[in-house]
Amino acid sequence: MNTTNLTVSPLAGALITEHFSIGQHGLEIGGLAVGDLVRQFGSPLYLYDGATLRRRYRALAAALEGFADVYFSIKANPNPHLAAIFVEEGAGLEIASGAEYLLARRAGCTPRRILFAGPGKGEAEIDLVLRQGVGEIHLEGFDEIEAIGRKVSAMGLKQDVSLRINPGRQAQGGAMRMGGKASAFGIDEELMPEAVEALKRFPGLRLKGIHLFAGTQILDAGILLEQWRYGLELAARLAELADCPLGSIDLGGGLGIPYHSGEATLDLEAIRTGLPQLRAMKAANPRLATAEMLVEPGRWLIGPAGIYVSALRSVKMSRGQRFLIADGGMHHHLAASGNLGQVIKRDYPIVAPLHLDQPVIDNTSFVGPLCTPLDTLGRQTALPELKTGDLLAVLQSGAYGLSASPVGFLSHPMPAEVLVENSLARLIRPAGTFDAPLVNMSEIPRSWSHAAQ
Ligand SMILES: Cc1ncc(COP(=O)(O)O)c(C=O)c1O
């Protein structure tokens, strides 16, 4: 088998060439045969290549050098062993819950390099990060200004905070658009003056900067640059309203990766080319000139590094249609089933790792073991003749995979997660039940108190 006679889709072929290798026994990740890894760790299984994580971090950091620092949005994949690689490379981490804070710390991230964003922060989570330290808290609404402001005063602290702003203009082109409409995320752009006034009531809250996140899965460099330009414009308005220089400008994540045939790859070179203009815009404003810029992508950094592998349990014909029924499905990979917010359900790149050069049969359905037609990972997919025990691999599965899936549904065991680095495979989450956390959740007490009490 080699890359010249593959029968996989053009996108899968391009991804294999860029991120994987092909050996005597088919697809390899980090130089190890996928078949051997499944034999060793069982199926289903998530596999990640540490070298790809490092390569992607370095490529993005190099493209943005002198413009913005890179934070990894840990929600894309909260396994601390993976986040630890980014931390080792120099990334900060963006978190959105108390448990993500514990995961970030477990990944070796210093508190100063952790940003806490996300709506509806709980009292126990706020307490945890304030007690243990956090770089910035991103305030998403007036309630949060009040609640965190009071807490900080009561604890006698000074805490750096940023205002997360819901921009008034829609960022076109992303799959999920978060600007220009009513939103639970951030403070509406038009309410910035009130937010600045509200902050003044709490001297313990030090306004450090602004945070924007206008959309995800953006594949067009021009759209991203335009969003960042608009972010700088908003930052200038905020600095003027607050009448102080800003210390940080968080431009959000949203950098996309191709999942479907015909989708482009985000052009880092085009981004690099657009940066001098943004740099000049920032330098020209004395209130922004010294601010640290940062981006906080998840998907782009980790998506291509991971694959989800399952084994065939049954091959069945029904009224002329071939069904491949595997031991894994949407309970481990909701996004690949098209049920994580996708408007149109289209297949992720799927390959049979042991049969990459075999003639394919079109119109195959690749489904999981759940009793619902939603549990379909491949629709009308071209896949070779396969039999029970053969493997199927979903590429581009490193982001929003396991942790974004209904792992308890039908109570199948959790898949293991394995990290391959330097030709060694390391179990980074054992297979098991879905309730085995990787951190001690008792650090975040569960309590309820009602505002009216
Ligand atoms: C505040 C925030 N930052 C970063 C991200 C990461 O987005 P992406 O994985 O698209 O880069 C998200 C995703 O929802 C987010 O809500």
**How far, in Å, is the centroid of ligand 1 from the Cα of 73?**
6
**How far, in Å, is the centroid of ligand 1 from the Cα of 313?**
35
Q: Which residues on neighbouring strands pair with residue 206, listed in sequence order? A: 160
Helices 221-242 and 268-283: crossing angle in degrees, nearest 10, is 20
pTM value is: 0.96
Residue 151 contacts residue 173 (beta carbons within 8 Å): no
On the question of pLDDT at 448 being above 90, the answer is: no
- Number of the ligand 1 atom closest to the C-alpha atom of 297: 11
In 124-199 the beta strands, taken as DSSP E runs, fall at: 136-139, 159-166, 176-177, 187-188
One-letter identity of residue 218: I
Cα–Cα dist 265/219, whole Å: 6
Higher-pLDDT residue of 5 and 44 is 44
125, two tokens: 């989570």
**How far, in Å, is the centroid of ligand 1 from the Cα of 234?**
19
Q: How far is CA 245 from CA 70, 78, 202, 206, 395, in A?
A: 22, 34, 18, 12, 44
**Residue-averaged pLDDT of the chain:** 94
Q: What is the model's pLDDT at position 447?
A: 73
On the question of pLDDT at 323 being above 90, the answer is: yes
One-letter identity of residue 340: L
Q: What confidence category does residue 177 fall into, taking pLDDT thresholds of 50, 70 and 90?
A: low
Give per-residue pLDDT as tens, 400-429: 999 999 998 998 989 999 999 999 999 999
Q: What is the model's pLDDT at position 343?
A: 81
Residue 375 contacts residue 309 (beta carbons within 8 Å): no
* Average pLDDT of the residues in 307-312: 98
What is the domain partition of the chain in residue ranges?
A: 9-49+304-429, 117-297
* Average pLDDT of the residues in 300-309: 98
Cα–Cα dist 187/430, whole Å: 40
On the question of pLDDT at 173 being above 80, the answer is: no
Q: How far is CA 410 from CA 311, 324, 331, 402, 434, in A?
A: 18, 19, 8, 15, 11
Q: What is the CATH number of domain 117-297?
A: 3.20.20.10
Q: What is the CATH number of domain 9-49+304-429?
A: 2.40.37.10
On the question of pLDDT at 178 being above 70, the answer is: no
Alpha helices (runs of H) in 141-283, residue ranges in sequence order = 142-155, 192-200, 221-242, 268-283
On the question of pLDDT at 450 being above 90, the answer is: no
Q: Is 306 helix (H, G, I), strand (E, B) or coil?
A: strand
On the question of pLDDT at 453 being above 70, the answer is: no
On the question of pLDDT at 24 being above 70, the answer is: yes
Q: What is the model's pLDDT at position 373?
A: 95
**How far, in Å, is the centroid of ligand 1 from the Cα of 140?**
14
Residue 259 contacts residue 395 (beta carbons within 8 Å): no
Q: Which of 426, 175, 401, 427 shows the shortest CA–CA distance to 305? A: 401
Q: Which residues on neighbouring strands pair with residue 432, listed in sequence order? A: 414
Give per-residue pLDDT as tens, 50-83: 999 999 999 999 999 999 999 999 999 999 999 9
List the residue whose alpha carbon is closest to atom 14 of ligand 1.
216
User: Percent of the chain beyond pLDDT 70?
Assistant: 96
Ligand 1 residue neighbourhood (C-beta within 6 Å): 73, 75-76, 94, 117, 213, 216, 252-255, 296-300, 399
Cα–Cα dist 94/91, whole Å: 10
